[in-house]
Amino acid sequence: MNDPNSHAFVNGRFYMNPEHVTADDFFRSGLNMPGNASNQLGVAGVQANVNTLPGLNTLGISSSRLDYAPYALNAPHTNPRASEILVVVEGTLYVGFITSTSGPNMKNKLFSKILHPGDVFVFPIGLIHFQFNVRKTNAVAITRFNSQNAGYNIIANALFGSHPSINDDILAKAFQVDKKIVDYIQSQYDRVGLLLDNYDKPNSN
């Protein structure tokens, strides 16, 4: 689990001696509380994964609560290690994922849906997906993953906010735009953690 003095290293985590395990290793509170969505995208996540719930180690499951401010966007991203199932608890979300291509003449296809409370949507592993709050009221969703740590890779952050930066010639050619546009976008990501600054912090209000 999380004990560096244990004798086994399993699935990326130290495996705790069973004699030292307590009920707290299988417990995580806080998913009833909204996350702090005071960031540029207006989305917050409260995680119940192996980093916050050690008992999940080797079990292949995790969960999170997502809070969306009005018109907030959970920007296009991937979960590289898990498929995701999302249930809307409150509000209205426009969600979707984009397929990979299977041939030279194939185009990426968007699968999207408007979700209301009680609606469920699945995002296949590794595919780019997003959620957008289409209302002027808050929204809440609960997610489940088939991994103890699904990973979270925002496409824009990865391309324009990496350290060191990707050469602007490469990005300019990839997006077929002038390098000045690339330089401008990269400058916006000098404030590292655009979404994640408060991603797993409870709302103190």
Q: Is 108 annotated as a binding residue?
A: no
Helix (H) or strand (E) holding 123: strand 120-123
Rg value, the chain, Cα: 19
84 annotated to a ligand binding site: yes
pTM: 0.85
> Binding residue per annotation — 7?
no
Q: Known binder of ligand: residue 19?
A: no
19 backbone φψ class: left, alpha, beta (φ>0; ψ -120 to 50): alpha
29-151 to CATH, choices 1.10.3230.20, 2.40.50.140, 2.60.120.10, 3.40.50.300: 2.60.120.10
Kindly tell me if the per-residue pLDDT of 53 is higher than 60. yes
- pLDDT value at position 6? 53
For residue 198, the model assigns a pLDDT of: 44
User: With 0-12 CB in 10 A as exposed, 13-18 as middle and 19+ as buried, what is 112?
Assistant: middle
Domain boundaries, the chain: 29-151, 157-198
Return the pLDDT at 12. 63
Tokens 């207006």, residue? 42
